[in-house]
Amino acid sequence: MNSAYDPLKAATPGTGLEHERSYWTATIDGEPPDDGPAPAQAETDVAIIGGGYTGLACAYFLARDYGIRPIVLEANRSGWGCSGRNGGFARAAIGRHTWGKVIDLWGRETARTMFRQALSAVDTVRELIAAGADCDAIAPGHLKIAHRPSRAAGLRAEAELLQREFQYPATFMTSAESRQHIGGTQSHGALRVPDALAVHPLKLALGVHRLARDAGAIVHTASPVLEWTKEGEEHRLRTPSGMVRARRVIIATNGYTPEHLHDCVRHTTLPVLSHIIVTRPMTAQEKRASGFVTEHVLTDSRNLLYYWRRLPDDRILFGGRGMVQPVPERFASQREFLLAELKAKLPALRDITVDYDWWGWVCLTRDLMPHVHHARDDATVHYAIGYQGSGVAYGLHAGRMLARRLANDDDSAPIPATSTPLPRIPFAVMRRAVQRAAYVWYRYLDNRD
């Protein structure tokens, strides 16, 4: 892997690269077959650029439900990006805003529609698992932890809002109650949301890959799109091995979207690094001393949040924002930083060590919302991009929504928050500088009462 890859700079993500070494790659039993690199010439009704959750789910639902046999063009291997690198949290979440903020921005009725869609996204994950995408899933729910006492009131209010506005059984746990589940010194109450799954993310991606091919989709790996032109009604996608001609194209590359790919995605995203460590298994004594017994997926109340979970073999997965730009020489220091942050949460694990660490690109947008839409000037170019770090459930569901739209089988009213064009980022050349400044400000906010 090219460890210095940056989507804002690189022409393409790569060509047939192996998966980044991670706990997930170490715990799969091989990979399902694919269709190899794209041939010299191919034609299709629908070409899908990107073989992650969204692209593979879209391919599956197009083939299974509508008899459309799409061609997926993946630059590397299925699940190579964050679909195979994330923490495995399938949550009922859309974007980065709290539900109270969603109500403020778009009103109660839109918020309620969005909340139902977020729950439907988790249901889509369950459906894919039931169809055969085995991924070691459990359904413990999600705890959002107050990392400081001052954050508890906000989480209590959020639980009350979910109950009041959406008739949803969210609950608030006091500091004493939350510490019975996760122990540690940074547990000052928690919001519990029951609709969340803990999954093996790479197994999930490979499972959907298998379902898509079994349904009739074609998945070409080692096939980055090097050039994209359009002549008349035909899109022409040039790969290293040939040309794919398509009547419609879907962009499903999320945080790995090259800037040059198409004008509809130029200057619309901010890919940010998320770094994950996985420890050695906890000893029996460490489990007792730490009090970390829950199987819930966990996030905290920081702006630059941490996310963590106890894995089935008693290892701990712990992740957070990575460096602003990938500097290979600093990966080790980032690993040690995350380990220190984990130990600050769970001091009883002072002797815990790291067995795996890796990183991937999370995709942010200007409005901190995903967008499932089409190019402004070409309704034959569709995309689903910008999951803000919550793409396990919504990324798969967005693939399903795209399939419905391409098959003219979507009778739902558009949601203004997500069914609009990707907004451009002003002064896009300054994205990394602004990101660096924002990180300094957010860390200040996260460390004050």
Q: How far apart (Å, rounded) are the C-alpha atoms in residues 152 and 67?
A: 50
The answer to whether 5 and 328 have CB atoms below 8 angstroms apart is no
pLDDT for res 1: 38
365 bridge partner residues: 269
pLDDT for res 18: 85
Is residue 448 very low, low, confident or very high in pLDDT (cuts 50, 70, 90)?
confident
Work out the number of other CB atoms within 10 angstroms of the CB of residue 72. Answer: 32
Q: How far apart (Å, rounded) are the C-alpha atoms in residues 54 and 402?
A: 9
Q: Where are the domains of the chain?
A: 137-198+272-365
Task: Mark 171-195 as b/e (b = at least 16 C-beta within 10 Å).
Answer: bbbeeeebbebbbbebbbbbbbbeb
Residue 244 is encoded by which pair of tokens? 């794919």
φ, ψ for residue 28 (rounded to 5)? -105, 155
List all residues 6 or more positions away from 181 whose beta carbon is below 8 Å from its beta carbon.
Answer: 143, 173, 190, 293, 294, 296
The answer to whether 79 and 206 have CB atoms below 8 angstroms apart is yes
Q: How far apart (Å, rounded) are the C-alpha atoms in residues 403 and 410?
A: 9
Is residue 410 very low, low, confident or very high in pLDDT (cuts 50, 70, 90)?
confident
Q: How far apart (Å, rounded) are the C-alpha atoms in residues 220 and 140?
A: 36
pLDDT digits (tens, 9 = 90+) for 38-95: 999 999 999 999 999 999 999 999 999 999 999 999 999 999 999 999 999 999 999 9
Q: How far apart (Å, rounded) are the C-alpha atoms in residues 130 and 66?
A: 20
φ, ψ for residue 123 (rounded to 5)? -65, -35
pLDDT for res 16: 60
Q: How far apart (Å, rounded) are the C-alpha atoms in residues 69 and 91?
A: 30
Q: Count Cα neighbours of 436 within 13 Å in the Cβ-side half-sphere.
A: 6
Residue 166 is encoded by which pair of tokens? 């959406």
Average pLDDT over residues 176-204: 95
pLDDT digits (tens, 9 = 90+) for 234-278: 999 999 999 999 999 999 999 999 999 999 999 999 999 999 999
pLDDT digits (tens, 9 = 90+) for 350-402: 999 999 999 999 999 999 999 999 999 999 999 999 999 999 999 999 999 99
pLDDT for res 414: 86
Q: How far apart (Å, rounded) are the C-alpha atoms in residues 7 and 324?
A: 12
The answer to whether 52 and 83 have CB atoms below 8 angstroms apart is yes
Region of 414 (left: φ > 0; alpha: ψ -120 to 50; beta: rest) is: beta
The answer to whether 418 and 371 have CB atoms below 8 angstroms apart is yes
Classify residue 366 by burial, with Cβ atoms within 10 Å: 0-12, 13-18, 19+: middle
Mean of per-residue pLDDT scores for the chain: 95
Tell me which architecture the domain covering 137-198+272-365 has in CATH.
2-Layer Sandwich (3.30)
Q: What is the pTM of this model?
A: 0.96
Work out the number of other CB atoms within 10 angstroms of the CB of residue 251. Answer: 27
pLDDT for res 7: 84
Classify residue 380 by burial, with Cβ atoms within 10 Å: 0-12, 13-18, 19+: middle
Work out the number of other CB atoms within 10 angstroms of the CB of residue 96. Answer: 19
Region of 122 (left: φ > 0; alpha: ψ -120 to 50; beta: rest) is: alpha
pLDDT digits (tens, 9 = 90+) for 2-17: 456 788 876 555 666 8
List the one residue out of 389, 330, 430, 434 whose CA is nearest residue 95. 389
Q: How far apart (Å, rounded) are the C-alpha atoms in residues 81 and 96?
A: 20
Length of the chain: 449
pLDDT for res 2: 44
Map residue 426 onto helix, strand or coil. Answer: coil
CA 292 to chain centre: 25
pLDDT for res 212: 98
Residue 312 is encoded by which pair of tokens? 């089935």
pLDDT digits (tens, 9 = 90+) for 137-181: 999 999 999 999 999 999 999 999 999 999 999 999 999 999 999
